[in-house]
Amino acid sequence: MARKQNKQDALDYHALGRPGKIEVIPTKNTKTQWDLSLAYSPGVAEPCKEIAKDVENVYKYTAKGNLVAVISNGTAVLGLGDIGPEAGKPVMEGKAVLFKIFADIDVFDIELNTKNVDEFVQVVKAMEPTFGGINLEDIKSPECFAIEERLKKELRIPIMHDDQHGTAIISSAALLNALELVKKDIDKVNIVINGAGAAAMACVKLYVSLGANKENIIMFDKDGVINTTRPNLSDMHKQFATTSTVTELAEALKGADVFVGLSVGNVVTPNMIKSMADNPIVFAMANPDPEIAYDLAVASRPDVIMCTGRSDHPNQVNNVLGFPYIFRGALDVRATQINEEMKLAAVHALAELAKESVPDIVNLAYNERNLFFGPRYIIPKPLDPRLLSHVAPAVAKAAMDSGVAQQPITDWDAYVEVLNKRLGLDNQLFRVIGTKARQDPRKVVFAEADNLKVLKASQVVREEGIAYPILLGNELRIRNLAAENGIELDDTVIIDPKSDEMSEKRHHFGELFFKKRQRKGFNQYEAKKVMRERNYFGCMLVETGEADALISGLTRNYPDTIRPALHVIGMEPNAKRVAGMYIINTKRGPLFLGDTTVNFNPTAEELAEITLLVANEVRQFNITPRIAMLSYSSFGSSGTAEAQLVAKARDIVKQKDPTLIVDGEIQAAMAFNQEILKDSYPFSELLGQEVNTLIFPNLAAGNIAYNLLQEVAGFDAIGPVLLGMKKPVHILQLGSTVRSIVNMVNIAVVDAQHKCCDGKK
């Protein structure tokens, strides 16, 4: 298990190296005198003049549109209280980091040395020209209410007090989902709220607007219960003052359905949780220490749905799930405010996202095997990359529908693409393949369906409409595994090739197979016997057209999986060999690499065949292959036989397909460096071309390259895509992730769509 973090870890994290955790980085070239004259005087005067003519141009020529101020006076920093503006700065810098990494929004954190509402408002108002939005943070109540209200009236940019509305949005999404799980109605549940400050008041208001009944709510602050007999209540508190005679928190919690803590740590005891109604919902959201520790609450009530504001337990109900995406959506339509409609849109987008299958990358990030909607997962995880593309568009759309957007979005697909690019998730090729697969989903056999990753991938492809899975394996085992992991099998086909029901089919497949292989090493008995093996049986399903593609190999070595495929299905009529290709997702686009998995030391003729196979596959993705045939030598710079072999292979390729853009032998660096190419090898076909396909001289080089790109450079690698087979069979690498299996299914389906065009369909 990972070591627990301690105080020193936190201090070192902030102090070591450059103090703090943020810096400002230029976004334009600043290397030369030329650049500097543009960035600053004299060039900078031009955008100044344009903005002076029309102030809206500030969004065109400056960072304003993507710049948010996180502003605090340090009076309610987390649950630490009024610790002052400087002491609050690490939190504000932290928020800046979260804005950037989750939504690519730039932030200046601003800590103000004032507790005076007028002064605060005046200062922030004066800063409006700089920022596209204002996130107020950790300002204590009641001042925060007046500050936000006045700024909302007086500014024309979106403004949100995160502790109020961020918290209200996230906890409302969590509440809706928790209630759904325990099958209780929001208008009937008893809700006890500890804390009546910024966060608590915004939460209670939003819960009521979602249907909670004021009569069923009891609130407490430092001085006890907020009831109608209490003197000097503010108007806001009066609205939620209870008529009940309860005075103590412990009393109020007896039989309560929901506890919401937005106060301070450790004020709730296990006995209080024990006294709550069946399936109690507990949101202990005080930071850094919740009102009751996660483990204590769970130990006292096994039926509890327990949430905290912390990241080290399940169900983190924290406003980090909201502010980056709410501001992203608001900035992108240049909303003049963040209104109720936008907040509700965020609530529903978050609540819905929690019910979708969880991507592998999220399980990986949280060291979970299989997160799924249930008591331990009622709300998305903060590291879920889908948050941006789900919440921001919902908020932007609500801004448009409610009439506060100044710059409407018209192409939502393009917008989502831009959002994904912001996170460096530009997986365009796979989106294209995914869309293509979904247009005509095919039956895909999963030969290792009793493996959790395979089973999860089969669920994802079914849910996403990519394929109709056929699961091979022991039915009971598969069903048990699915049940243990919350995987719905619905009407998914499960076939156990070893079962008695399949004996007739085994016999039939065995006979067909024997006809194919009788003079190639299989006797009749063996041909029938191998049909008990899932890879043979699965391949026969594909061969006979009962299925369209097969995915296997996650748990067995490559040769053991490829052999049945070659025996049963075989190669394309014109292919002389099969080859393996990897696709690497880089920021410059996809890179296709071959051969990475099948042919060890090809001859020039064989290397040419591999190149043609890869080129053909790249074209299948509607991409023009621009091929570099790699070596340690460029255009004869080394006269070794190895280098010459590549040059000869290139000649053969050119003879067979003169239209292909292909050159070599060439060193990898040269293939990507247009300047050197222009100076030294201006004759090259690769001049002016962005190389997207790399052919390696042998398997060792190809295999090492993709592994390095994946592990050291951190690129997503998808493959190996098996080329040259008559029908789509794809063999996974040992240990592939669920996402990479899903990607392989996408490829298999698209492959099946192509291969069947002249045949079955």
Ligand X SMILES: NC(=O)C1=CN([C@@H]2O[C@H](COP(=O)(O)OP(=O)(O)OC[C@H]3O[C@@H](n4cnc5c(N)ncnc54)[C@H](OP(=O)(O)O)[C@@H]3O)[C@@H](O)[C@H]2O)C=CC1
- Ranked by CB distance to ligand X, the top (closest) residue is 197
Give least dist CB 163 to ligand CC(=O)C(=O)O, A. 5
Is 569 labeled as ligand-binding? no
Contact partners, residue 45, CB within 8 Å, separation at least 6:
none
* Contact between residue 103 and residue 327 where contact means Cβ atoms under 8 Å apart: yes
| Closer residue to ligand X in complex, CB, 125/222 | 222
Q: What are phi and psi of 378, to 5 degrees?
A: -105, -10
Calpha distance 466→478 (Å, rounded): 21
The yes or no reply on residue 138 touching ligand CC(=O)C(=O)O (CB under 6 A) is: yes
Nearest CA to 109 among 140, 77, 143? Answer: 77
Q: Give least dist CB 201 to ligand X, A.
A: 8
Q: Is 78 annotated as a binding residue?
A: yes
78 interacts with ligand CC(=O)C(=O)O by CB under 6 A = yes
DSSP state of 335: B
Choose the one of Mg ion, ligand X, ligand CC(=O)C(=O)O, none that binds residue 195, judging by a C-beta under 5 to 8 angstroms depending on kind: ligand X
**606 touches which of ligand CC(=O)C(=O)O, Mg ion, ligand X, none (CB within 5 to 8 A by kind)?**
none
The three-class DSSP label of residue 218 is: strand
- Please report how many Cα atoms fall inside a 13 Å half-sphere around the Cα of residue 164, on the Cβ side: 25
Does 546 show up as a binding residue in the annotation? Answer: no
Please tell me whether residue 109 binds ligand CC(=O)C(=O)O under the rule CB under 6 A. Answer: no
Which of 83, 208 has the CB closer to ligand CC(=O)C(=O)O? 83
Q: How far apart are CA 666 and CA 688, in angstroms?
A: 15
| Shorter beta-carbon distance to ligand CC(=O)C(=O)O: residue 164 or 746 | 164
Euclidean distance between CA atoms 445 and 441, whole angstroms: 13
* Cα 456 from Cα 358, distance rounded (Å): 10
Say which residue the tokens 């609500």 belong to.
398
Among 106, 109, 111, 138, binds Mg ion (CB under 5 A): 138
Interacting residues with ligand CC(=O)C(=O)O between 268 and 297 (CB under 6 A): 287
81 annotated to a ligand binding site? yes
Shortest gap between Cβ of 101 and ligand CC(=O)C(=O)O (angstroms)?
16
Instruction: Tell whether residue 109 is among the known ligand binding residues.
Output: no
Q: Which of 106, 109, 163, 663 binds ligand CC(=O)C(=O)O (CB under 6 A)?
A: 163
Closest approach, Cβ 319 to ligand CC(=O)C(=O)O, in A, equals: 5
Question: For residues 318-377, which are near ligand CC(=O)C(=O)O according to CB under 6 A?
Answer: 318-319
Residue 12 annotated as lining a ligand binding site: no
Going across the sheet that includes 589-594, the strands are 661-666, 626-630, 693-695, 589-594, 579-586, 716-723
DSSP run (H or E) holding 663: strand 661-666
User: In whole angstroms, how close is the CB of 309 to ligand CC(=O)C(=O)O at the nearest point?
Assistant: 6
Whether residue 137 is annotated as binding a ligand: the answer is yes
- Between residues 167 and 177, which has the closer beta carbon with respect to Mg ion? 167
Name which of 164 and 363 has its Cβ closer to Mg ion: 164
Q: Is 136 or 494 the residue whose CB approaches ligand X more closely?
A: 136
Of 140 and 556, nearer to ligand X (C-beta) is 140
Q: Which of 163, 332, 384, 448 binds Mg ion (CB under 5 A)?
A: 163
Which residue bears the tokens 């200062």?
123
Stretch that binds Mg ion, among 16-24, 133-141, 413-421, 607-615 (CB under 5 A): 133-141
Given ligand CC(=O)C(=O)O, Mg ion, ligand X, none, residue 380, with its beta carbon under 5 to 8 Å by kind, binds none
Which two tokens mark 678?
């222009």
Q: Least distance (Å) from ligand CC(=O)C(=O)O to the CB of residue 445? A: 47
* Closer CB to ligand CC(=O)C(=O)O, 106 or 163, in the complex: 163
Q: Tell me how far, at minimum, the Cβ of 241 lies from ligand X, in Å.
A: 14
How close are the terminal C-alpha atoms of the chain, in Å? Answer: 53
Please classify residue 690 by burial: count the beta carbons closer than 10 Å to its beta carbon, then call 0-12 exposed, 13-18 middle and 19+ buried. Answer: exposed
Q: Choose the one of Mg ion, ligand X, ligand CC(=O)C(=O)O, none that binds residue 222, judging by a C-beta under 5 to 8 angstroms depending on kind.
A: ligand X
Residues of this chain that bind ligand X (CB under 6 A): 76, 78-79, 140-141, 163, 167, 194-200, 220-223, 262-264, 267, 285-287, 309, 317-319
Smallest separation (angstroms) from ligand X to the CB of 222:
3
Q: Any contact of residue 427 with ligand CC(=O)C(=O)O (CB under 6 A)?
A: no
95 is catalytic: yes
Are 336 and 404 in contact, with CB atoms under 8 Å apart?
A: yes
The answer to the question of whether 553 is labelled as a binding residue is: no
Check: CB of residue 752 under 8 Å from CB of residue 549. yes
Nearest approach in angstroms of CB 76 to ligand X is 4
**Residue 79 or residue 314: which is nearer to ligand X going by CB?**
79
Backbone angles phi, psi at 26, to 5 degrees: -65, 150
Q: CB-wise, 78 or 365, nearer to ligand CC(=O)C(=O)O?
A: 78
Residue 79 labeled ligand binder:
yes
Prior bond of 302 cis (ω within 30°): no
Q: What is the DSSP string of 526-550?
A: HHHHGGGSHHHHHHHHHHTTSSSEE
CA-CA distance, 18 to 93, in Å (whole number)? 13
- Does residue 189 have a known ligand-binding role? no
Residue in the shown chain whose Cβ atom is closest to ligand CC(=O)C(=O)O: 287
- Whether residue 38 contacts residue 44, with contact meaning beta carbons closer than 8 Å, is answered with yes
Contact 493, 502 (CB under 8 A): no
ω before 9 within 30° of 0 (cis)?
A: no
Contacts of 121 (CB under 8 A, 6+ apart): 147, 150, 151, 154
Distance CA 136, CA 159 (A): 7
Helical residues (DSSP H) of 104-189, grouped into ranges:
117-126, 143-154, 167-182
* Binding of Mg ion by 617 (CB under 5 A): no
355 contacts 292 by C-beta, under 8 angstroms? no
221 binds, among Mg ion, ligand CC(=O)C(=O)O, ligand X, none (CB under 5 to 8 A by kind): ligand X
From the candidates 21, 89, 95, 188, give the one annotated as an active-site residue: 95
Instruction: Tell me: is residue 82 an annotated ligand-binding position.
Output: yes
DSSP-derived 3-state class of residue 443: strand
628, 691 contact by CB (below 8 A): yes
248-255's contacts with Cβ under 8 Å and 24+ in sequence apart are 248/224, 249/192, 249/194, 249/220, 250/275, 252/192, 252/218, 252/220, 252/225, 253/192, 255/190
Taking the complex as a whole, the smallest distance from the CB of residue 177 to ligand X amounts, in Å, to: 16
Positions marked catalytic: 95
Annotated binding site for NADP(+): 77-84
Residues that bind Mg ion (CB under 5 A): 138, 163
Annotated binding site for a divalent metal cation: 137-138, 163, 287
Residues that bind ligand CC(=O)C(=O)O (CB under 6 A): 78, 138, 162-163, 287, 309, 318-319
Annotated binding site: 77-84, 137-138, 163, 287
